[in-house]
Amino acid sequence: MIRHFTLPVATLCLLLTGCAKHHTSTPAAEFPVGSAQLSVTHLKKMTDDGTPLYLTIDGIDAGQLPLGESIDLHLPGGKHQVGGYARTLIGRVTIPSLDVALSADVITQVAYAVTRRQPAFSLTGTQPVPPPAKKPEVTQPVIPTAKPEVVPPAAPAVTAPATPAADNTQSTQSTQSTQSTATPTETKSDALF
């Protein structure tokens, strides 16, 4: 019984893997990078069947361009060939390339459309590159520094010599006054007991 299903299962696997979608990288790693900008748009038209376009620049894959989308590429200035191909059930359909001259000061716009059953690239226009946005200047806050006040040195104070006899009389008088005040409080507390 298993031998009867082997051939149909193998055939079905081959058919399903052949119809699977094959993805490409966008943009390719070996694609050149430069200062000129190219914008390619896949226009929606009534005659377009919706097959995605695989964009090539000078014969190198630049990425996939689905219907209604656009891709911006940075290339070195000079002449380039913008072309592409579409994968169909029959195979690969190559779209004739368009020669484009690029410069660093303008954005070149190219459109891909299928008109009268003929796929073609066309140059739609150029626009100047917008100037880069200016970054606001960051100013450092000014921290006021306190200026140290200059204090003139004080003149040495002249003191009169003190007499030792006057100091002794003051200290004895203060001790006698503290003793006389302590004595009456003790006598009051003793009288109560």
Res 95 pLDDT > 70: yes
pLDDT in tens, 121-139: 988 988 887 777 777 776 7
Is 34:75 a contact under the CB 8 Å cutoff? yes
- In this prediction, residues 72-101 reach a mean pLDDT of 89
The predicted structure's pLDDT at residue 97 = 92
The predicted structure's pLDDT at residue 30 = 55
For the record, the structure tokens of 156 come out as 């040495």
pLDDT in tens, 36-85: 888 999 888 887 777 888 999 998 888 888 888 888 888 888 999 999 99
pTM over 0.75: no
Lowest mean pLDDT among 62-71, 76-85, 105-114, 178-187: 178-187
Rounded-to-integer distance, Cα 60 and Cα 84, Å:
9
pLDDT band at 98 (very low <50, low <70, confident <90, very high): very high
Q: DSSP 3-state assignment of 38?
A: strand
Res 188 pLDDT > 60: no
Phi, psi angle pair for 65, to nearest 5°? -125, 95
* DSSP for 6-36, written as a single string: HHHHHHHHHHHHHSS-----SS-TT----SE
Lowest mean pLDDT among 14-28, 116-130, 141-155: 14-28
Report the chain's mean pLDDT, rounded to a whole number: 74
Q: DSSP 3-state assignment of 84?
A: strand
Is 101:78 a contact under the CB 8 Å cutoff? yes
